[in-house]
A and B are shown apart, each in its own frame.
Chain A
Amino acid sequence: MSTALNDYTASYSALALPGQDLPWLQQLRADAYTQFASDGFPSPREEEWRYTNVSALEKKAFTPLLAAARAVDADFIKSYQLADAYSLVLVDGYFSAELSLLADLPDTVQILSMADALQTCPEQVAVYFGKAVTSNEHGFIAFNNAWFTDGVFVHIPALCVLDKPIQCLHIVTQDGGLATTRNLLVLAENAAAQWLETFVGADVGYLSAAVTEAFVGQNSELTVYKVQCESAKAYHFGGLYIQQARDARCTHHNFAFGGLLARSDIHTDLDQAAECELNGLYLGVKRQHLDNHTRINHLKPYGISRETYKGVLDGRARGVFQGRVIVAEDAQLTDSQMNNRNLLLSADAEADTKPQLEIYADDVKCGHGVTVGQLEEKSVFYLQSRGVDEETARNMLTFAFANEMVDKVNLPLLKTLLVQLVLQHFPQNSYVD
């Protein structure tokens, strides 16, 4: 057993983890612990982790924090909190009722902290918990299963079309801190909702290891936004595991801007005629390592999937895109397209892209394309020939490349925030407003 594991075991045993009176959860945690104790965090020997080495985490031992009222800078929260949303805030791994805003939530919609849900409606949680992803997926899932501290539980009943998006804002405030949050999102049949997860933190080193499971009922529609703006010193793992019932539709927009080392897993299983659209944008600078792993599992016929990921990498940053599409034998007439485009802004930046199509059905339409390139010099010159200085010209072109993904966002306030965040990376001179 590594020192880090001993540290984690010791520090978590000091915490009162939720759901200790639930035998099914105790069993799940115990099994997860055994799994993590034997395998640890994922290693680059695992095919799905071959470009991302998290061995630093074995040595560092971040410390999980006790639930405690900690002062969080209100302006900092506001700058990421979407006005006009149901807002949930998780501070250092715990739901904060004070910071959350749930006014006007329809009575039929349940939104409560995971700790509360495990007390007040554990049988409801038990139906879904651990059903979209299990500990043997990889070390971060086992880690989260064993030691999640809190999170939120959301249930949208049948026929409910939620008027406002739900935002879950994750904040880590402490140097060396560790947040293991666990969310569960359930849409019953014929419902529609928008779910936004935002990850931020103080300008210190910490680990955020968050897992969300989402169940999209028959003919329901879920739109998910992930905005990852962790501190530049932080480690981030964020996994979203989706189950789409028959005719369910899911669109995911993944924005990876922050973190020293950040990995996203977006996995979805599609039942008959379900549709998914996965979009992503990763912007890496300096020594950032941004890994995006997607898995689209077509299990039944007539499914449609569309995937577009774009990366912009500067400095010594490294971007990874691994996109797996699996078409089961039974999934005839699947229609799947995947595209990954990378823009390298410096000679030391790197993009690793690996589309993986595994097709076991014979009558399908599947395609994929990847590119890794630089800005076109003739475009830079064209802008310069109109009076735009070279740096601004390059930033305009880079922004345009990235903005294609921001443009797909349907929430105006979120779009404005994203444009600001992208422009921070690629400023355009004052003569452009």
Chain B
Amino acid sequence: MLSIKDLTVNVNDKKILKGINLEVKAGKIHAIMGPNGSGKSTLSHILSGKSGYEVTGGSVTYQGKDLLEMPPEIRAREGVFLAFQYPVEIPGVSNVYLLKAALNAVRKHNGLDEVDAMDFLTLVKAKVKALEMDEKFLYRAVNEGFSGGEKKRNEILQMAMLEPKLCILDETDSGLDIDALKIVADGVNSLRSPDRSFIMVTHYQRLLDYIKPDFVHVLAHGQIIKSGGPELALELEEKGYGWLEEAAA
């Protein structure tokens, strides 16, 4: 599904990612953990095509294609979805309008007809219900005045509507209370399928109690310094990142 090779990235001439290697197979869940400032969001942004980063080396191949060549909207239409760490507020554009525009853009790209207005409403209302959101959120401006938890839930709503193939969740657990965390985790789990992969960026073990990863990677100072199975997350929870960073230094 996704293959990242020796990826190096600069921001304002500062080296942020210093040679990332990662293979994500279809149907797998990868957790990327690491201390603040280690480059997790940078990696998420690079995968979704945000500008302002300079790729200085390496490659990213997604479903056999060069991902870095694609503009952000093409990546989205090809099935890459980023749930933002800090979702953006868009005053004046309603949630339902964006969801419809996004869904139709993806469908059109994949040779499907635009979604029928009634079918769309039925679909979106079902997803809203599953995420225990108030239907009123659909008619409010995207993320405007939403609480931290509401914004995160809204990201998962968009993800559920677009049914991407590669879901990148950047600190989706932060700002969520335990009930909201469970609802979001249920939302993610219900999307699990043999042909859909997840990259879950987090710096706490907490989310991984509800969404079981297949692999755990530790990102520190722009490099993956250790990879393992789910048990690695537990070890990190217990010992922190210090011992790994020392070992890597």
Contacts and interface: CB of A to CB of B under 8 A. Distances in A.
Given A382-B88, A385-B48, A396 B73 contact: no
Nearest to A402: B92
B77 A383 contact: no
Interface string A378-398: 110111111111101100110
Nearest to B106: A387
Given A381-B51, A383-B98, A400 B90 contact: yes
B101 A388 contact: yes
Contact of A385 (B82, B91, B92): B82
A431 B108 contact: yes
B145 interface: no
A404 interface: yes
A400 B101 CA distance: 14
A397 B93 contact: yes
Contacts of B108: 431
Contact of B71 (A376, A384, A397, A401): A384
A432 interface: yes
A104 interface: no
A107 interface: no
Contacts of A383: 90, 93, 98
A390 B74 CA distance: 10
A432 B93 contact: no
Interface string A357-386: 000000000000000000011110111111
Contacts, number: 87
B43 to A, nearest CB: 15
B236 interface: no
A431 B71 contact: no
A63 interface: no
A387 B104 CA distance: 9
Interface residues of A, number: 28
A403 interface: yes
Q: Is the interface of A mostly helix, strand, loop or mixed?
A: helix
Contacts of A404: 91-92
Contacts of A433: 100
B72 interface: yes
B47 to A, nearest CB: 10
A390 B101 contact: no
A389 B73 contact: yes
Contacts of A388: 73, 98, 101-102, 105
Nearest to B105: A387
A381 B106 CA distance: 16
Nearest to B143: A382
A164 B99 CA distance: 37
Nearest to A386: B102
Contact of B92 (A384, A386, A390, A403): A403
Nearest to B115: A431
A101 to B, nearest CB: 35
Nearest to A398: B92
Given A387-B77, A390-B73, A431-B108, A382 B92 contact: no
**A-B pairs with lowest CB-CB distance, top 8:** A400-B92, A431-B104, A387-B105, A386-B102, A387-B76, A384-B72, A382-B88, A432-B101
Interface of B: 48-51, 71-73, 75-77, 81-82, 84, 87-88, 90-93, 97-98, 100-102, 104-109, 114, 141, 158, 162
19 contacts: A378-B88, A382-B88, A383-B90, A384-B73, A384-B76, A385-B50, A386-B105, A386-B162, A387-B73, A387-B105, A387-B162, A388-B73, A390-B73, A392-B101, A396-B93, A397-B92, A400-B91, A401-B92, A431-B101
Given A383-B90, A432-B97, 10 more contacts: A381-B88, A384-B49, A384-B72, A385-B72, A387-B102, A387-B109, A388-B98, A392-B101, A396-B93, A432-B101
Interface of A: 376-379, 381-390, 392-393, 396-397, 399-401, 403-404, 428-429, 431-433
